[in-house]
Structure 1
Amino acid sequence: MPHKNRSALNYLSIEELHKSFDERLLLNGVSFGINQGQKIALVGVNGCGKSTLMKIIAGREEADKGVVAFREGVKVAFVAQSPVFKEGDSIREAVFDAENSTLSLIRDYEYHLERSATDEKSAERLQELIGEIDAANAWDYEAQVKTILGQLGLHDLEQKVGELSGGQRKRISLARALIEKPDFLILDEPTNHLDLETIEWLEQYLSTANMALLLVTHDRYFLEKVTNHIIELDGGQIFQYQGNYSYFLEKKAEREQIEAAEVDKAKNLYKKELDWIRRQPKARGTKAKYRVDAFQDVKKAAHKNLKKDEMELSVQERRLGGKILELDKVNKAYDGQPFVKDFSYIFKKKDRIGIIGKNGVGKSTFLNIITGQLEADSGEIDRGINTHIGYYRQEDATFNPEARVIDVVKEVAEVVELADGSTLSASAFLNLFLFPPKMQYNVVGKLSGGERKRLQLLRVLIKNPNFLILDEPTNDLDLITLNVLEDFLAKFGGCLMLVSHDRYFMDRLVDHTFVFEGQGLIRDFAGNYSDFRTEEAEKERARVEAAKAVEKPKADWKAEQKKEQPKKKLSFKEQKEFEQLGEDIEQLEIQKAELVEKMNAGTGSHEDLATWAKEIEDIGDQLDEKELRWLELSEFAE
């Protein structure tokens, strides 16, 4: 367990925060602090107030009461679950929308660099910017900005934000926050909508970055690697754990055991005190007042409710027939770009398949073809008559925000058949999904993001599918609900297909993987995600070792040749060539320096700048050639 650094600066202090929505008490006197370098995960069930607390800290929402205070001078950045941008802005404008002089230089440099070849004014401004970036020592910063944009898949910086998906907007918000280099970063579900490679890059970046971090995420591998402190929000109170996610699970169990023991002790004491109260005369003046007052505290402790509401998943599964689903040479392309190419597969009973690949390579297209929501260009798709597909999509279901929760479920079924053959009303089934009767008559618009996802999942399962397709089911679900979903899917007797960026979730539930490699190629890999990554790492190691093995004999041969052969002397002609090369290289260096000085002066026309740039390139080629020959001759020169 990591030790707290007592000398670290306090970046954030929170004192006695209170917040309620309608009659729901989310924060009840919450107090804590965050120090320089601490990387903290905020955990708790959906609807407990995690996102609300983060918005209050980020200044996006006000508390009913309490104080949020950042240390003076601490730079704070916030990435919301669903970031909002000006629809007409380009990606460039959205990413570099910060009051930072260095960022402004980098933004202008990138803008004019793209236009300098065809626009004289941009070429002139580019020369000025080169000098300004030199003066600000910002070239390393520029390289870091390019790395962040590239890793987050933001390449076309002129694309309008209004044309982007929610996932792409999340990437813009992440890029902007990381580029600003904040002292304190607040992230609400940062891994949602990111592909696995990007998540692993972000995980590495955040775990080594010199910043304080507060994040909400359901990704347990991410939590384990990035965070060193857990804050649990439970019943409006917080509980702190100095360690990572594994340590939190261990200590949370201990805390709940201690609480249960304390309640049992209070119940025994309550029985004794209740008996004493009953035996006393009715006139209160005859009783010891302090004992009567203490009795109320004991009564409260004895009746403390430790029961945790947990989602229960149990639905009747239809039997699969002999034929489930067969794909034969399926193809799909858009504008000549293949997304599925000659793919064939015969699904078997209890297939548990994970789907991985970068964003935009065709995963959702493939699922839409299988579910009949999209037609393939060619090939055969043959579904068995007893195959009933339940498809959970990563896009939010388009619920009417004014509709009541109970009515949204009744649209699908009034009665639900469970795994044991019994039936439940829609209301009782909602209760199993942690929607108590009072919440069932709320409108959907009042639900949190995680609660809407739970409702969406319920509507899929209520139809009793025997072939489940889940596209990013873990987004916005809390860790407790996620564990219940995992347990249900582990016991699910039908076929299962998963697209998920949650590596732990995939590792636990799938036994082979469709790897989308791009250009429509889909590889069937025998193993889960971690197995795939291990094999890829082993292939890379083998490739490097093979390259070294090829290079080593060459190096040994060269050493032997050098050792065996007497040192060669230059001929008269070669000696003269060697001397002339030295003079030529010196003259070329002078010419190059003069041309660079002219370009930096910015006095030439657009045509002059283009000519000088071409001359510098030609001189560079000559220098490379002459320096190589000079090195060859220098080995034998006297």
Structure 2
Amino acid sequence: MNYLSAENLTKTYGDRTLFRNVNFGINRGDKVAIVGANGSGKTTLLSVLAGALPPDDGLVSVRKDISVGYLDQQPALNEALSVMEEVLSGESVQLEAVRAYEKALNSGDAVALERAMAQMEKLEAWDYESQLRQMLGELGIHDVDQSVSTLSGGQRKRVALARVLIQNPDLLILDEPTNHLDLEAIEYLEGYLNTNNGTLLMVSHDRYFLDAVCNQIVELDGGQLYSYKGNYAYFLEKKAERQEMQAAELEKDRNLFRRELEWMRRQPKARGTKAKYREDAFGELQEKVSGKGKGGELELNLRTARLGSKILEVENLSKRYGEKVLLDHFTYTFKRLDRVGLIGKNGMGKTTLLEMITGQTRPDSGKIATGGTVRFGYYTQSEISIPENQRVIDVVQDVAEVMKLASGETVTASQLLHHFLFDRQKQYDYVAKLSGGEKRRLQLLLVLVQNPNFLILDEPTNDLDITTLNVLEEFLLNFPGCILIVTHDRYFMDRLVDHVFVLEGEGKVRDYPGNYTDYREWRDKQPRVTKVQPSAPNAGRSTNQNAAPVVTQAKAPEVKKRLSFKEQREYETLETEIAELEQRKAELTELLNTGGHHEQLTAWANEIGQLDALITTKSDRWLELAEYA
């Protein structure tokens, strides 16, 4: 069954055509990923297919009886709502029933309340709130009452993702869904999409994610689409075959072009009309061979400064914010050619540790001693401030007009930009015209041309295309200095690191020998702790078979936490408070069963709803504290 089809799509920005006359279709059950180089138009194509952006020409058709959920790269959220309210604002019949039920509770309209409860029963929507809480927790959002206006950019993306997922649409369209997720959240999303029977269309650069989730890869290359039935590994194999065939065909075209060029040069200026067809064919051939095979190769073999015997010593480093301990007496001495991956949930302090090492943040205690020959190259998550009205080549020349390679040769700023896949036309574009991925690629270049010998990379894979990632990996494998990496790209980390620092919480850091997959395999062999979910209101009702599936992954045991005095007092009083609330709820339920006048019934029903919410909230907190009591 065809869900979406596109015919003869064309989209142009200024004098640049992103794609022309492309056709595309997706059927029920397909899980399709669009891949391609930065600036090739992947996000634009996805926006056109999702109906968020009109094409210049062509038509997109979506089956009328299906629902579509779309996650933009920069989703718009309502600043006035809480996290839970924002997630509930999505579109689905179950969510609409939940909203109608809450509205009826607040209005005191007994008739509307009865009708809303019947609809909730019919749609089996009673478990939606508990599903939402669990999904948000897996994605790293635990305070559901927090205002959207206080969220960071990454938190906003995760809330928007939960809002789309809980709708359980027939067709799910996601633009870079793994950006801003930590490794555990990515694995949760991977499991969710694998167990969901819906249809998926997405853009992603996460190679493990693509390989695990997708059954079809579509590449946008040179304004055209190339489709491959299979996962990412199959795509790589078939793409290599296509490129070999194209290379052979291009060589034939070039040989023919040379012969035709000689013929054109031999002809007198007043050629007869009989050769007009040959002139036209020559023009087509010239267009065919020009512009092909000219893509720059990202050969990052810049010279690095020599490292001395003393590199970096971290001794008894501690850092906390309020009651949250990020580091507790962390000690490590970096050695020559150390390649370390930094792992931990969002908010555990990965970026804070990097900022302390580079001197941007002061520790609470402990010391950091840096060797005299160390030159840090720090690639941060946030984009560096580059004037939008400055040309790309001027940005690089402001740092260095000529750079030395490891071989001793020199390259100009223009040559280096070409290696970074900026052709001559792109080099003279203003920064404002660059795509997100192109800006990140320029930022990476500016870090590397400063001749560092200790690279600190904080999420370097965000917004970089797969081609850039592959060659960046090759450069880093041969980098003659130290590397410290924070990344959610498991493939990238597996290729580059030889041990990992795992931030386990409460300031504890585990130094595990091996890459991320090695650590994960070890972690999965440890005794598992099953998470107990609190009972939701109306938990005795039947489960919605059509609701979005929620995947629960067992977590490795964390270091035993001890409750503070304040938390211990809270834990002791919660049990009594919950019992009192349950008792009051039982009394009200009995009153409802005995009957009464209209206003009393409405008031009792309204109070029961409020009690249910309180019981759930306090039960969640009691279970959280009980793990450490």
Please, what TM-score do these two structures have when normalized by structure 2?
0.80
Aligned to 2:25: 33
Change in 2 beyond 3 A, CA 1:126/1:600: farther
| 1:23 partnered with 2:15 | yes
Aligned to 1:148: 135
Change in 2 beyond 3 A, CA 1:395/1:123: farther
The question of whether the paired residues in 1 share the 8 Å contact of 2:109 and 2:602 is answered with no
Q: Name the larger-Rg structure.
A: 1
Aligned length: 554
Q: Which residues of 2 match residues 307-386 of structure 1 at below 5 A? A: 307-386=294-373
Structure-2 separation of matches of 1:337 and 1:109: 38
Deviation at 1:605, TM superposition (A): 5.7
The question of whether the paired residues in 2 share the 8 Å contact of 1:131 and 1:600 is answered with no
Deviation at 1:323, TM superposition (A): 0.8
Query: What percent of counterpart residues are identical?
Result: 51
In structure 1, runs of 5+ residues without a counterpart are: 1-8, 545-590, 618-638
Structure-2 separation of matches of 1:461 and 1:148: 39
Change in 2 beyond 3 A, CA 1:277/1:506: closer
The question of whether the paired residues in 2 share the 8 Å contact of 1:354 and 1:512 is answered with yes
Q: Could you list the per-position Cα deviations for residues 438-495 of structure 1 after superposition, in whole angstroms to 9, with x for gaps in the alignment?
A: 3233221211010010111111111111100001000000000000110000100100
Aligned to 1:471: 458
Aligned to 1:503: 490
Structure-2 separation of matches of 1:439 and 1:277: 32
Structure-1 separation of matches of 2:395 and 2:236: 35
The question of whether the paired residues in 1 share the 8 Å contact of 2:90 and 2:164 is answered with no
Worse-superposed segment, 140-149 or 327-336: 140-149
| 1:89 partnered with 2:81 | yes
Residue identity in the other structure for 1:91 = V
Structure-2 separation of matches of 1:48 and 1:240: 16
Q: Could you list the per-position Cα deviations for residues 232-263 of structure 1 after superposition, in whole angstroms to 9, with x for gaps in the alignment?
A: 11111111111111111111111111112223
3-state DSSP of counterpart to 1:603: helix
The question of whether the paired residues in 2 share the 8 Å contact of 1:58 and 1:186 is answered with yes
The question of whether the paired residues in 1 share the 8 Å contact of 2:295 and 2:421 is answered with no
3-state DSSP of counterpart to 1:139: coil
Aligned to 2:155: 168
The question of whether the paired residues in 1 share the 8 Å contact of 2:2 and 2:28 is answered with yes
Aligned to 1:138: 125
Aligned to 1:634: none
Q: Which residues of 2 match residues 386-401 of structure 1 at below 5 A? A: 386-401=373-388
The question of whether the paired residues in 2 share the 8 Å contact of 1:241 and 1:251 is answered with yes
Q: Which residues of 2 match residues 62-141 of structure 1 at below 5 A? A: 62-107=54-99, 132-141=119-128
Aligned to 2:221: 234
Change in 2 beyond 3 A, CA 1:368/1:596: farther
| 1:260 partnered with 2:255 | no
Deviation at 1:100, TM superposition (A): 3.5
Change in 2 beyond 3 A, CA 1:248/1:600: farther
Structure-2 separation of matches of 1:282 and 1:339: 79
In structure 2, runs of 5+ residues without a counterpart are: 531-585, 616-629
Change in 2 beyond 3 A, CA 1:592/1:478: same
Structure-2 separation of matches of 1:223 and 1:599: 59
Q: Which residues of 2 match residues 466-615 of structure 1 at below 5 A? A: 466-540=453-527, 595=590, 598=593, 603=601
Residue identity in the other structure for 2:30 = Q
Deviation at 1:124, TM superposition (A): 12
3-state DSSP of counterpart to 1:200: helix
Worse-superposed segment, 82-91 or 133-142: 133-142
Change in 2 beyond 3 A, CA 1:482/1:291: same
Change in 2 beyond 3 A, CA 1:238/1:157: same
Select which of 197, 201, 204 maps to 2:184. 197
The question of whether the paired residues in 2 share the 8 Å contact of 1:102 and 1:136 is answered with yes
Aligned to 2:36: 44
Change in 2 beyond 3 A, CA 1:482/1:109: farther
3-state DSSP of counterpart to 1:169: helix
The question of whether the paired residues in 1 share the 8 Å contact of 2:91 and 2:167 is answered with no
The question of whether the paired residues in 1 share the 8 Å contact of 2:296 and 2:423 is answered with no
Select which of 3, 25, 29 maps to 1:11. 3
Root mean square deviation, CA, Å: 3.4
Worse-superposed segment, 365-374 or 310-319: 310-319
Structure-2 separation of matches of 1:304 and 1:102: 53
Q: Which residues of 2 match residues 296-307 of structure 1 at below 5 A? A: 301=288, 305-307=292-294
Change in 2 beyond 3 A, CA 1:100/1:279: closer
Change in 2 beyond 3 A, CA 1:322/1:138: same
Q: Could you list the per-position Cα deviations for residues 290-332 of structure 1 after superposition, in whole angstroms to 9, with x for gaps in the alignment?
A: 6666565556555572343332212211111111110110110
Structure-1 separation of matches of 2:472 and 2:107: 60
The question of whether the paired residues in 2 share the 8 Å contact of 1:19 and 1:25 is answered with yes
The question of whether the paired residues in 1 share the 8 Å contact of 2:296 and 2:420 is answered with no
Aligned to 1:454: 441
Aligned to 1:54: 46
The question of whether the paired residues in 2 share the 8 Å contact of 1:92 and 1:107 is answered with no
3-state DSSP of counterpart to 2:145: coil
Deviation at 1:141, TM superposition (A): 4.1
Structure-2 separation of matches of 1:389 and 1:130: 61
Change in 2 beyond 3 A, CA 1:56/1:244: same
Residue identity in the other structure for 2:209 = F
Structure-1 separation of matches of 2:519 and 2:407: 37
Deviation at 1:210, TM superposition (A): 1.9
Aligned to 1:632: none
3-state DSSP of counterpart to 2:378: strand
Change in 2 beyond 3 A, CA 1:593/1:430: closer
The question of whether the paired residues in 1 share the 8 Å contact of 2:296 and 2:422 is answered with no
Structure-2 separation of matches of 1:151 and 1:424: 48
Q: Which residues of 2 match residues 613-628 of structure 1 at below 5 A? A: none
Structure-2 separation of matches of 1:178 and 1:607: 31
Q: Could you list the per-position Cα deviations for residues 490-538 of structure 1 after superposition, in whole angstroms to 9, with x for gaps in the alignment?
A: 1001000010111000100000000000111111111111001111112
Change in 2 beyond 3 A, CA 1:16/1:122: same
Deviation at 1:228, TM superposition (A): 0.7
Residue identity in the other structure for 2:4 = L
Change in 2 beyond 3 A, CA 1:141/1:168: same
The question of whether the paired residues in 1 share the 8 Å contact of 2:108 and 2:602 is answered with no
Residue identity in the other structure for 2:386 = F
Change in 2 beyond 3 A, CA 1:599/1:159: farther
The question of whether the paired residues in 1 share the 8 Å contact of 2:133 and 2:144 is answered with no
Aligned to 1:248: 235
Select which of 410, 425, 442 maps to 2:429. 442
Aligned to 1:5: none
Change in 2 beyond 3 A, CA 1:28/1:377: same
Structure-1 separation of matches of 2:86 and 2:126: 21
Q: Could you list the per-position Cα deviations for residues 580-605 of structure 1 after superposition, in whole angstroms to 9, with x for gaps in the alignment?
A: xxxxxxxxxxx999839629997286
3-state DSSP of counterpart to 1:248: helix
The question of whether the paired residues in 1 share the 8 Å contact of 2:110 and 2:602 is answered with no
Change in 2 beyond 3 A, CA 1:599/1:132: farther
The question of whether the paired residues in 1 share the 8 Å contact of 2:296 and 2:419 is answered with no
